[in-house]
């Protein structure tokens, strides 16, 4: 039975009903819908809008429905228009008239705005926990490899020496910002739209603060039109998810590079790698690739929401039913990615010898060589030029700055002395980069401990 039968002479066309309905994807909010209804009924009873005893029966009935859904005794009717309709119809089937009073002073418009918020608030909390776990894994690994020298890159060209720990902590920074964004989104969505009605509030003397309090909200929404037509919280959640997915995707890209034979900086655990059906030697980083691929999906979800909302007049429009599939997909995607990604990173084998070998080639200590001359009094620009010429000479003669004899050095500048070898050693280069935020092992240690203490 449709909710709006009074004005209509016909049932909605069967296939059109499937098109119009949202039960396929909003039934996952059954628990939140019921919790919202319990709060609403409790408030209606307390305010005397409905009889106190009847409110109690409604709440008990709703709790019974929730228990039956959870035990499997009750199944959601796939023919129902949406979860709100289903729960109300079931309540009415169980209680008769009392069930019909639940929807007093409420519309599905404020109801769905409420359910969305309740559901996403929970999901943000879940993602928050998973990202926190990832940051902890990164900090612990960073501590293990705080002294593992590797080449840092710009333009994917070896640039300057860093430590693997420092590289991992760069991701810990990104994921901390993701945590902050999720927290921020969850906090801003934490206002209760109940009482907004369809769009224009209600004439019933509701205690909106009570409903808000019962549901753990910080406040109620302060404009009934905005209360039912705001989906900022969906967009903000999807934006936070999309940015986090971009971070995971960049990290995945590096993991994919690092486990190639060209790099071999890490090896993924067998439990997080796949093989080839034809090439017996292959070990593929499918999980990282899939995460990188799914970033596109999360970006798509955000785009869906932004473009769905951009032309909507106030207040509720049915377009907004599309909020759920997009934002749920975004949240599910990040959740699934993190579920595989966190243990993949946790179990990966790090190969510091290979990192060091790579760091030894590519003249990544050239800046330090120039700085050595600066230390002896040469202006940096001149030192830069001398070192550039040295590098060109080494390349032509298949030498490195470490293997170039001192007499050769001195042909380029008289300031070079025996201590140049110490100055350009990779460990000197890395250990000296103690500037706050720099890659020196002592910094990595401090930063990793600082971040761990925040988690
Ligand atoms: N299923 C709808 C949605 O998800 C619920 C709100 C329906 N309201 C309405 N006026 N048709 O948005």
Shared domain for 137 and 167, answered yes or no, is yes
Q: Is the pLDDT of residue 255 over 80?
A: yes
Shared domain for 79 and 190, answered yes or no, is no
Q: Residue 276: what pLDDT?
A: 81
Q: Residue 2: what pLDDT?
A: 67
Which residue(s) pair with 267 in the sheet?
A: 349
Q: Is the pLDDT of residue 1 over 70?
A: no
Task: Report the CATH number at residue 99.
Answer: 1.10.275.10
Distance of CA 344 from the midpoint of ligand 1 (Å) = 40
Q: Is the pLDDT of residue 5 over 80?
A: no
Task: Report the CATH number at residue 231.
Answer: 1.20.200.10
Residues 102-120: tens digit of each pLDDT: 999 999 999 999 999 999 9
Q: Is the pLDDT of residue 9 over 70?
A: yes
Shared domain for 331 and 371, answered yes or no, is no
Q: Which residue has the higher pLDDT, 275 or 394?
A: 394
Shared domain for 323 and 417, answered yes or no, is no
Q: Is the CB of 119 under 6 A from ligand 1?
A: no
- Could you list the residue range(s) of the whole structural domain that residue 370 is in? 366-424
Q: Is the pLDDT of residue 154 over 80?
A: yes
Q: Is the pLDDT of residue 275 over 90?
A: no
Q: Is the CB of 318 under 6 A from ligand 1?
A: yes
Residue among 28, 6, 29 nearest 118 (CA): 29
User: Residue 31 in contact with residue 186, Cβ under 8 Å?
Assistant: no
Q: What is the CA radius of gyration of the chain?
A: 30
Measured at the CA of 215, the angle between CA 214 and CA 221, to 5 degrees, comes to 105
Q: Residue 280: what pLDDT?
A: 81
Calculate mean pLDDT across residues 44-68: 98
Calculate mean pLDDT across residues 20-30: 97
This prediction has a pTM of 0.94
- Which residues in 104-142 are b (16+ Cβ under 10 Å) and which e? ebbbbbbbbbbbbbbbbbebbeebbebbebbbbbbbebb
Q: Is the CB of 111 under 6 A from ligand 1?
A: no
Distance of CA 384 from the midpoint of ligand 1 (Å) = 66
Q: Is the CB of 34 under 6 A from ligand 1?
A: no
Q: Which atom of ligand 1 is nearest to the CA of 324?
A: 4
Q: Is the pLDDT of residue 53 over 80?
A: yes
Candidates 30, 36, 85, 109: which one to mutate for ligand 1, based on the most atoms within 8 Å of Cβ?
A: 109
User: Residue 266 in contact with residue 292, Cβ under 8 Å?
Assistant: no
Shared domain for 344 and 376, answered yes or no, is no
User: Residue 346 in contact with residue 130, Cβ under 8 Å?
Assistant: no
Residues 319-352: tens digit of each pLDDT: 999 999 999 999 999 999 999 999 999 999 999 9
Shared domain for 98 and 200, answered yes or no, is no
Least confident stretch, 32-41, 139-148, 231-240, 279-288: 279-288
Shared domain for 113 and 76, answered yes or no, is no
Shared domain for 49 and 170, answered yes or no, is no
Shared domain for 286 and 395, answered yes or no, is no
Shared domain for 65 and 120, answered yes or no, is no
Q: Residue 429: what pLDDT?
A: 92
Residues 187-227: tens digit of each pLDDT: 999 999 999 999 999 999 999 999 999 999 999 999 999 99
Residues 405-440: tens digit of each pLDDT: 999 999 999 999 999 999 999 999 999 999 999 999
Which residues does the annotation mark as catalytic?
155, 276
Residues 407-416: tens digit of each pLDDT: 999 999 999 9
Shared domain for 26 and 76, answered yes or no, is yes
Q: Is the CB of 112 under 6 A from ligand 1?
A: yes
Candidates 2, 20, 308, 321: which one to mutate for ligand 1, based on the most atoms within 8 Å of Cβ?
A: 321
Distance of CA 108 from the midpoint of ligand 1 (Å) = 6
Q: Is the pLDDT of residue 295 over 90?
A: yes
What domain count does the chain have?
3
Distance of alpha carbon 409 from alpha carbon 418, whole angstroms: 10
Shared domain for 185 and 321, answered yes or no, is yes
User: Residue 140 in contact with residue 167, Cβ under 8 Å?
Assistant: no
Calculate mean pLDDT across residues 217-244: 98
**Residue for token digits 């935020």?**
437
Residues belonging to the chain = 455
Q: Which residue has the higher pLDDT, 309 or 279?
A: 309
Chain centre distance of CA 242: 7
Task: Give the count of alpha carbons within 13 A of 327, CB side only.
Answer: 30
Query: Average model confidence (pLDDT) for the chain?
Result: 96
Q: Residue 73: what pLDDT?
A: 98
Query: At a CB cut-off of 8 Å and minimum separation 6, what does 228 contact?
Result: 107, 109, 110, 113, 193, 196, 197, 198, 199, 315, 316
Of 357, 379, 410, the residue that ends a domain is 357
Q: Which atom of ligand 1 is nearest to the CA of 82?
A: 1
Q: Residue 309: what pLDDT?
A: 98
Distance of alpha carbon 78 from alpha carbon 66, whole angstroms: 17
Residue owning the nearest CA to atom 4 of ligand 1: 321
Identify whether 440 is part of a domain: no
């Amino acid at each position: 039975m449709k909710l709006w039968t009074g004005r209509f002479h016909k049932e909605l066309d069967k296939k059109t009903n499937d098109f119009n309905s949202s039960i396929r994807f909003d039934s996952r909010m059954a628990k939140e819908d019921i919790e919202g209804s319990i709060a609403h009924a409790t408030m209606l009873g307390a305010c005397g809008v409905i009889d106190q005893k009847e409110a109690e029966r409604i709440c008990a009935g709703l709790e019974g429905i929730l228990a039956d859904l959870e035990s499997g005794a009750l199944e959601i009717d796939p023919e129902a228009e949406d979860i709100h309709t289903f729960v109300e119809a079931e309540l009415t089937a169980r209680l008769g008239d009392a069930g019909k009073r639940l929807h007093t002073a409420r519309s599905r418009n404020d109801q769905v705005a409420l359910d969305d918020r309740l559901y996403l608030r929970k999901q943000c909390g879940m993602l928050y926990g998973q990202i926190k776990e990832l940051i902890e894994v990164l900090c612990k690994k960073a501590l293990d490899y705080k002294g593992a020298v590797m080449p840092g890159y710009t333009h994917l060209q070896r640039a300057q020496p860093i430590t693997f720990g420092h590289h991992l902590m760069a991701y810990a920074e990104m994921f901390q910002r993701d945590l902050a964004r999720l927290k921020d989104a969850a906090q801003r969505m934490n206002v209760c739209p109940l009482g907004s009605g369809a769009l224009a509030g209600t004439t019933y003397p509701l205690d909106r603060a009570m409903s808000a309090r019962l549901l753990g909200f910080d406040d109620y929404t302060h404009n009934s039109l905005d209360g039912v037509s705001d989906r900022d919280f969906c967009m903000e959640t999807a934006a936070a998810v999309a940015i986090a997915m971009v971070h995971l995707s960049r990290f995945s890209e590096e993991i994919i590079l690092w486990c190639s034979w060209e790099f071999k900086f890490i090896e993924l655990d067998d439990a997080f790698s796949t093989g080839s059906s034809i090439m017996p030697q292959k070990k593929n980083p499918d999980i990282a690739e899939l995460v990188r691929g799914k970033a596109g999906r999360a970006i798509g979800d955000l785009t869906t929401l932004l473009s769905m909302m951009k032309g909507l007049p106030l207040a509720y429009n049915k377009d907004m039913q599309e909020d759920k599939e997009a934002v749920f997909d975004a949240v599910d995607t990040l959740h699934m990615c993190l579920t595989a990604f966190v243990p993949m990173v946790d179990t990966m084998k790090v190969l510091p010898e290979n990192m060091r070998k790579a760091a030894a080639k590519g003249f990544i200590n050239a800046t330090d060589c120039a700085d050595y001359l600066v230390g002896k009094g040469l202006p940096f620009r001149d030192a830069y030029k001398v070192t550039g010429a040295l590098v060109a000479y080494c390349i032509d003669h298949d030498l490195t700055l470490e293997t170039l004899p001192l007499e050769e050095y001195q042909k380029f500048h008289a300031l070079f002395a025996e201590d140049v070898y110490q100055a350009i050693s990779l460990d000197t280069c890395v250990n000296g980069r103690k500037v706050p935020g720099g890659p020196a092992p002592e910094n990595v240690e401090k930063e990793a401990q600082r971040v761990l203490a925040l988690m």
